[in-house]
Chain A
Amino acid sequence: RKEVEQDPGPFNVPEGATVAFNCTYSNSASQSFFWYRQDCRKEPKLLMSVYSSGNEDGRFTAQLNRASQYISLLIRDSKLSDSATYLCVVNGQGGKLIFGQGTELSVKP
């Protein structure tokens, strides 16, 4: 089993749609969880951290389910500019960050 596994993509959605990505992790001792965004052929950038209580940043909501060992990212009212690959990141042993393979989102007009 991969340490961090994401929904396979790509997700193709119309503008204005709500889309959700899921990510599962294998290490029950993991304490830190994040979503990164990566545009095509660019470097990843931190989108948001994921807190136990869930957190929201504008149209983006991240949630953590420790019992089932998964995190999710919800994007409401999708914009064309949301098109990117979304990477789930979890801290592993020794504090190293482990990246999922990414889920590609394409928002169409």
Chain B
Amino acid sequence: DGGITQSPKYLFRKEGQNVTLSCEQNLNHDAMYWYRQDPGQGLRLIYYSQIVNDFQKGDIAEGYSVSREKKESFPLTVTSAQKNPTAFYLCASSIFARVSTGELFFGEGSRLTVL
């Protein structure tokens, strides 16, 4: 089945530790995105990538890093510089040429809790 796979689904980390969230897609989509969702808030864009080996900062990129070495993969690292990392993280993809159609396909999300 085609889709987006995020892992892990739940993650706990201590303050000061970096953590990497995995996102893999087999939809052959060009564009991939990372969003963060906090309770009662909409999704906020962290980073996005429209093509392999290229990515752009979103609205809240500070304290995060990404890479796009393969079309299928767009991992997100939450660094110790992120002041409030506890959140629900969602990875999405789209056929870039059709991003204006709003067809974002999301993974099931990764819930990160910092202890």
Known: A31-B100, A32-B101. A4 touches B42 (CB 8 A): yes
Which chain B residues lie closer than 8 Å to A102 at the CB level? 40-42
CB 8 Å contact bits of B26-49 with A (1 = contact, 0 = none): 000000000100001111110010
Within the complex, the shortest CB–CB distance from B21 to chain A, in Å, comes to 14
User: Is B99 located at the chain interface by the 8 A CB criterion?
Assistant: yes
User: Is B103 located at the chain interface by the 8 A CB criterion?
Assistant: yes
Check B90–A44 contact: CB distance below 8 A: yes
User: Is A101 located at the chain interface by the 8 A CB criterion?
Assistant: yes
Cα A33 to Cα B102 with chains together (Å)? 8
Q: Which listed residue (A34, A42, A96) contacts B108, Cβ 8 A? A: A42
Check B108–A46 contact: CB distance below 8 A: no
Cα A54 to Cα B45 with chains together (Å)? 28
Chain A interface residues (CB < 8 Å from chain B): 4, 31-34, 41-46, 49, 87, 89, 91, 95-102
